Each structure stands twice: as C-alpha cells, then as structure tokens.
Amino acid sequence: MNFEGTILSLGSLELPRLEALIELLFLAAYADGAISAEERAVLRQKVLEGSQGRLSTETVEAMLDSIEATLAQQGREVRFQSIRRRLGDRRLKLEALALAGQILRADHQVDLREAAWMARAAEALEIPTDEALALLRPVAL
C-alpha cells in the first residue's frame, strides 16, 4: 500500500483536514470491527511516509489513540459526519476515499464488510456510491 496514484499530499494539508483524513483511514482499517497491531503499524507507517516528515511517530500514535477513544465514545456515524465537515470539498473527499480504498485493499482482497464500509463512507461523505466502490477495484498496471 502506498499513496502513489493520488494527487493528495498529506504534508500539504492543514491540520483539521489532515486529522480528518487520518481518522477516515483508521475507520477503513477498522471496517471489520477491529484493528490489529499489524494493521495499526502499517497505518502508522503510511501516515508517517505520507506526511513527509511533518508528523512524528509519537504524534501519529497519539492521533490514533485519540481517534480510537473518540470512536468508542461516539460511534462510527458521528465520526463520519465530523470527517465530512472537516474534509470540506468534493475533490478532497474523493481523494480520501481513494486512500481508504488502498487501506481496504492492502491484503489484496476486499470482503463484504469492507465493501459495505466503503459504500457507507461514500454516503456519509456525499460521494456517489458507485464512484467509491470503483475505488476498490484492482489498479491496472
């Protein structure tokens, strides 16, 4: 998994949008109802790489801890609405879903829970479901 193939640079996002994007990626990794230590490590590494040195390991880990705690308190639907507001424009929402699709495809397969998550995320972000589900298709080389 990498962030190549998107025009989004995590290093250039203002903090509220960056936090919203990271939260969406966390929710994607959590699509099956749990996030393993290995999934969390991959997510942390990809965020560190994508932020181009803007975020430290400690900062990313603190963000992931905060996201996990907030998710437990508020639930996925409330978090989706917060992410939608913070991301703002359609282009950024679509790019965020493309990155979430990379998280969902990281193991080279997408199960029904992950596809359902993508459909719900698209709806919450006001992106047509068919556009979002197309992001789950394998990328042709």
Cβ partners under 8 Å of residue 76, min gap 6: 27
pLDDT the model gives residue 84: 97
Which CATH superfamily groups domain 14-134?
TerB-like (1.10.3680.10)
Domain range annotation of the chain: 14-134
User: Residues 64-121: pLDDT tens digits?
Assistant: 999 999 999 999 999 999 999 999 999 999 999 998 998 888 778 888 999 999 999 9
User: Residues 30-69: pLDDT tens digits?
Assistant: 998 888 888 888 889 888 988 888 889 999 999 999 999 9
Please state, rounded to an integer, the average pLDDT across all residues of the chain: 87
Whole-prediction pTM value? Answer: 0.87
Q: What is the DSSP string of 38-81?
A: HHHHHHHHHHHHHTTTSS-HHHHHHHHHHHHHHHHHH-HHHHHH
Handedness of CA 14, 20, 25, 29 (dihedral sign): positive
